[in-house]
Structure 1
């Protein structure tokens, strides 16, 4: 909607410039970018994750409040704004009256005969319900897309619908050859859907995930919670220590895991059980990849400035879901962004968790991250690389 009215304002300025050239000088105000639906979804899921950890007893009230504040700061950091416009003086009364009359008359005529309501509806920021509906339509249109099912599961968890999320993760796991990361997410959704009561299905899923990947973080965290609830405090410490070993040094979630370990040890001591000495952990360095993104010249006439651009990294060999994502618009190109562990779509899947990753940039007119019209892909690279990378969006995307 902002872009539309800016375009209208520019056209009106062109029309009135012939009257005001001798007396009018000004600058066009820049539009403030919309906060993206993807960041809102990530923010909502982070809050849901914090609430789950608080309910499980691994977060204190202070840790929970600090986590909420940190999530809000990250969301604000991803939202950029622009400065305000500057007022100008007009020299003569007659040109001023004409300049004011033309926009008012145009606005009134357009409001009466135009389609402003429809344009306004298109310009509104998508709500969580709208994003959910779009993703549901995406899996209807492309039911064999593990990525689309995965995003639907994420947003359903953020909406507080773990039972529906579990169904989406089940489909994603089936389509992605039962990737261990998805099995862990599936088990976690089932756990919350079952009022945090552990059962054989969750045990089977986490066992299968850890058999394929002994360091699968969601399963380790979930098994630690289940063991703590069943008063198997030694097992809880073991699972959480293994989880802690996978987390980078600066990961904010490390504090809550460490609190859970300390509480489990206190319970062991109270029960007279032997307490294992803390294990010295070797932490992974945070992965940071700088990538420049541009649009092929032959595509510039085929896109709109407001079309969404998703820059993301996937595991070269692993789950199909993005490990890190940044959102731009076509108007921002060319642009340079950094993808790092801080941009992880989920705490358990980070760039540093995989040896090789593949970069890609997708243009999506609908604003849905899983669907697009054009794409640019890079070759697999080491997740630890520090050399700048380049992506050129130059190919039509074929639905898979």
Structure 2
């Protein structure tokens, strides 16, 4: 506000100067010089005439006439000075009221129509940006009131006007837009953040979340690619799998939706209050698939490798589920790209080897994992492998790959 008042004083001073300038440059300021020049010319002409008349004998008292001429010039000076003083007084009589009028109108109109209270509130909100941002980023960010959301949006827009390369600011603005369901604004803000910092997982997730809400198929395809990249990079965040499950369910890919919700259950555990909600979502998807509620099960396998293991990045990862006694014939199996470790995969009835023997029919099981280096499942020479202990259905499984055929 200090800068505003300084600027306003400078502008008013310039306005007053513009009002006074015509009076300062008024031609009357040159009247004295013009008067003196005219008087000198008149005096010289009259002296010449008196000399001529004296030479012709027409004037007897030449000196008296010269003295009278000088006296008339002296009498002219006070009258002109008085006129000059009156002119100065007249100029001040115009300038001073005009200056007061400019000051009164300027500040009066500002206080009436200038929204000074809104400007002050805007500056207070801008100063409060760090506290509001911290609150939004915290787990309790959803508790921001509507007024706080509005204040934070205003403060962020102000900051981004001066710092357009602030990716965090664009991310926060996009999250606010998502909370307010203004999808176009959310996509635009998230895109700016992504353009600035495309390798930031939080920004990738936020951008994907905004694109997923778009009605444009191109936007939704881009969202799936971003989420897939996050999964490949082992970015463990419930929101990634939640978005993937939501998208799969909307596309009627119910097995994929069940798989993603099952992963989420494995990540949070039965003690989490969201576990039951995910169970209901899984049951609903299974109903859509025509399955009997409660018969579908999935196995979540967390895989890691020993320090001595070295594998070709183009190798495959073969995961197989067996009965608890270690029977060589798998009940379910799946092949994945090697990827990075540690990583988690989920197998369900869709990975069952036999139609009449589902994975969900097992009460207990064990898991074997092998790095297939040549693409032929029948050959094992030189392949690295590992297997788990026997566990009950529904329990998480961990496998360490540290053995070699």
Structure with max Cα Rg: 2
Higher relative contact order (CA 8 A, sep 6+): 1
Task: Tell me the TM-score normalized by structure 2.
Answer: 0.36
Query: If each structure's helix is expressed as a fraction of its own residues, which one has the higher value?
Result: 2
